[in-house]
Structure 1
Amino acid sequence: MLQTDKISPMQLFMMLILAIGLVQHVTIIPLLLQASQKDAWVGVLLTLPLMLVWALLPWYIVKHTGHTALMEWIGDHVGTVAAKCMASVVSLFLLCSAFITLKETITWIQVTFLPQTPLLVTSIVLLALCFYAATKGIKSLVITSGILLPFVLLFGYFVMGANFEFKRYTLIFPLFENGLLPALKTSVYMGGSVMELLVFLLMQHHVKKRVKRSHLLITVALFVCLTLGPLMGSLAAFGMEAPLLRYPSYEQWRLVTVGKYISHVDFLSIYQWLAGAFIRISLAIVLLPEVWQIKARPVKNGLMLGMVGVLLALMAAPLSDISFLAYLSVYYKLSFWLLLLFSLILFMLVYNQVRRGAKKR
């Protein structure tokens, strides 16, 4: 790979903040509120120290596998069968991740501002854009993220400050009315979303410099902040009505007014949501050939187009929003345990190789 095709750690994590941050900022908020209501924000805070410790696992992995593609390293040091098994699991994860984001985004679009547009039409348009971006490669996605992210953050701070007058933070108390268990449930959902950070291992061979421990720790802390903001804001603005809302983060935009004569600025939330969804789905599509180490462009494009076709078929399947929320709840619970197991397995594989290398020396 040419040096000019590589990206910096900062560019990588800016893209991940936009892609994974959508989950923390939007997708899991209803799950957290339904699981533990006012205790949800405490559960998120409890997750922070645990995730900071967990972040040392991927840091150790990337430190000792260097600039080698992860699946290539597994194939060389563990075996081809193990690499293919890992690639199959990761491919399924990428497909589920892209489908959840696509379904959530298209449903929100239909509910909020395009109620008369057929679901498949908006799905095809968004997937076509994502496929085109994916064919241009990771470097193009990184550059696009660098353009989109500053405005996403700017609008986030704007909505946080603009509706501050409607928030009563006394509504986030009292705590633990139903014991500590609800807050612990929240930690599982939050942990499952934060551990999606593992996807950076699939791109480590695209990075110019070695990823530092501080990069991962800061990113984990930012993910937690991305959840705490809209979560506490929803409780402070809507109280015990917040768990009943389908899109609590979006509803905060509907409170915003600028002076006496300007309202309905919630169109800015469309930019925020679509920016995150676009990068997240495009990244999932572009990583699929990376996982299988496919170099030939026609084969890569064919595989990515196949994934787009599967996503479109899934969108055509009858799935109510209630069933989808139930699926999300199960998915993020499983995601927590499976991603934890996956990171531990990778850590042990790398650790054993490091020990063997030390003994040979």
Structure 2
Amino acid sequence: MNNKVIQSVHIYILLIMSTGFMLHVLILPSILSSSHRDSWLTVISSIIPFLIWSFLLYFVYQKMNNEDLLSILYKVLKKPFYYLFAGIFIIYFLFTAYISLKTTFYWANTNYTQEVPDFFVVFLFTFICFYASYKGIRTISSIAWVILPIVVFFGFLVGIGNTHNKNYELLFPIFENGYKDYLQGFLYTCSGFFEILFILFLTPFLSDQLKKKWLFIVSCVLLMLILGPLIGAITEFGASEAEKLRNPAYEQWRILTLGLHITRLDFLSIFQWISGTFIRISLSGFIANSILNHTGTKKWSLPMLYLFIMVGAMIPWGGTSFFYFLHHYYFLINLIFLCITMVFLLIIMTVKGETS
């Protein structure tokens, strides 16, 4: 059976939808809280680590020589170490899906599902993501291809539509508290962007080749996905107010008006948010399942993985405590883990080159 069912363009779209959700929604409040008014400068400067990481990722991709990453690791590593690596990444992708689902649940419960039982909200959304993962990467990619233009259109709508609410003087002065805040924001921008490493797990399904030029272009697009709503939040609400907002990108929809009579357009943000988190969760579930099934087919694996995600999302965890955990622990741990993984893969590819 031919597993090469997607093209490189699908990879780029999945990057924009999945990692874009991380940067646009999850990371944005932490950047504002750490870098304050200087956060927009931090994001612009992040193009440097973004491009360096993209170069390293492309280098690893080239060294793979069209081989499956897990197959390479299976040949190079001893079995216990291979299973350890595979297990760690299954947990990583499961936790990625859990964080996305939990954040979406808090947002939905706060804004429009107060009267709906929590279990029904979590179960329904989890089941939809499960079905997409079950249908496979081609289905997930096709859905992302269809909804991306709509998501982009809505992004331009809220950005341009709020122009009259923006005061760009609020972006200045810069460095009023020194350079510490400016530098601190790099931890969060890199934590979000470096997760594009996940595309190495999708290469077995790729029918053509990734291009360095397009990978760098996608890096710039992801940068704009943080920069646009970040500048919008500061210029519309002021730096100090923007820091207090749990979802700065969503709050910009609340003040959007078209003319004198068209108001309350924030319902359109529901499509944006749900689209991003749907692609992110279903893609994470699919990758976790493909790792688990690399050495054999286990029909029970995908339902079990989603059961863990759903049960985890239903475990009570106060919103304030949850977002404190994200800001102070999760993003930093995620960054360290991804950097260690990149170093590990660079070493593995060097060893592979010497032994081949």
CA distance in structure 2 between the aligned counterparts of 1:79 and 1:296, rounded to whole angstroms: 18
Q: After superposition, what is the alpha-carbon deviation per residue over 1:295-314, rounded to whole angstroms, capped at 9, x for unaligned?
A: 766x24x2111121111221
CA contact (8 A) 1:131 1:305 kept: yes
Q: Is 1:288 aligned to residue 288 of structure 2? A: yes
Deviation at 1:293, TM superposition (A): 3.5
Q: After superposition, what is the alpha-carbon deviation per residue over 1:282-324, rounded to whole angstroms, capped at 9, x for unaligned?
A: 0111111211344766x24x21111211112212222111111
CA distance in structure 1 between the aligned counterparts of 2:315 and 2:50, rounded to whole angstroms: 35
Aligned equivalent of 1:326: 324
Q: Is 1:339 aligned to residue 316 of structure 2? A: no
Partner AA of 1:227 in structure 2: I
Aligned equivalent of 2:303: 305
TM-score calculated relative to the size of structure 1? 0.95
The 1:73/1:296 distance shift into structure 2, 3 A limit, reads closer
CA contact (8 A) 1:39 1:175 kept: yes
Partner AA of 1:230 in structure 2: P
Q: After superposition, what is the alpha-carbon deviation per residue over 1:217-265, rounded to whole angstroms, capped at 9, x for unaligned?
A: 1122111110000011000000021101111101100111111111111
Deviation at 1:78, TM superposition (A): 2.5
SS at match of 1:55: helix
CA contact (8 A) 2:18 2:279 kept: yes
CA distance in structure 1 between the aligned counterparts of 2:81 and 2:220, rounded to whole angstroms: 33
Deviating above 3 A after TM superposition, structure 1's stretches of 4 or more consecutive aligned residues are 293-297
Q: Is 1:134 aligned to residue 140 of structure 2? A: no
CA contact (8 A) 1:66 1:210 kept: no
SS at match of 2:46: helix
Aligned equivalent of 2:187: 188
CA contact (8 A) 2:70 2:294 kept: no
Partner AA of 2:245 in structure 1: L
TM-score calculated relative to the size of structure 2? 0.96
Aligned equivalent of 2:52: 53
CA distance in structure 2 between the aligned counterparts of 1:269 and 1:171, rounded to whole angstroms: 25
CA contact (8 A) 1:74 1:80 kept: no
Deviation at 1:123, TM superposition (A): 0.5
CA contact (8 A) 2:289 2:305 kept: no
Superposed, which structure 2 residues align to 1:144-293 within 5 Å?
144-239=143-238, 240-293=240-293
SS at match of 1:24: helix
SS at match of 1:318: coil
CA distance in structure 2 between the aligned counterparts of 1:326 and 1:99, rounded to whole angstroms: 16
Superposed, which structure 2 residues align to 1:63-102 within 5 Å?
63-102=62-101
- Corresponding pairs, count: 354
Report % sequence identity.
29
Instruction: State which drifts further: 252-261 or 151-160.
Output: 252-261
Superposed, which structure 2 residues align to 1:23-62 within 5 Å?
23-62=22-61
CA distance in structure 2 between the aligned counterparts of 1:356 and 1:184, rounded to whole angstroms: 41
- Structure 2 residues not aligned, in runs of 5+: none
Partner AA of 1:327 in structure 2: F
Partner AA of 2:58 in structure 1: W
The 1:295/1:130 distance shift into structure 2, 3 A limit, reads farther
Partner AA of 1:151 in structure 2: I
Instruction: State which drifts further: 121-130 or 174-183.
Output: 174-183
CA distance in structure 1 between the aligned counterparts of 2:255 and 2:179, rounded to whole angstroms: 32
Superposed, which structure 2 residues align to 1:2-41 within 5 Å?
2=2, 5-41=4-40
CA distance in structure 2 between the aligned counterparts of 1:81 and 1:131, rounded to whole angstroms: 30
Deviation at 1:6, TM superposition (A): 1.9
Deviation at 1:190, TM superposition (A): 0.7
Aligned equivalent of 1:317: 315
Instruction: State which drifts further: 83-92 or 241-250.
Output: 83-92
CA contact (8 A) 2:35 2:181 kept: yes
CA distance in structure 2 between the aligned counterparts of 1:120 and 1:50, rounded to whole angstroms: 41
CA contact (8 A) 1:58 1:347 kept: no
Partner AA of 1:276 in structure 2: G
- When the two chains are superposed, the root-mean-square deviation of aligned CA atoms in Å is 1.4
Instruction: State which drifts further: 259-268 or 123-132.
Output: 259-268
Partner AA of 2:119 in structure 1: L
Partner AA of 1:283 in structure 2: L
Deviation at 1:80, TM superposition (A): 2.3
CA contact (8 A) 2:292 2:301 kept: no
CA distance in structure 1 between the aligned counterparts of 2:28 and 2:355, rounded to whole angstroms: 44
CA contact (8 A) 1:120 1:315 kept: no
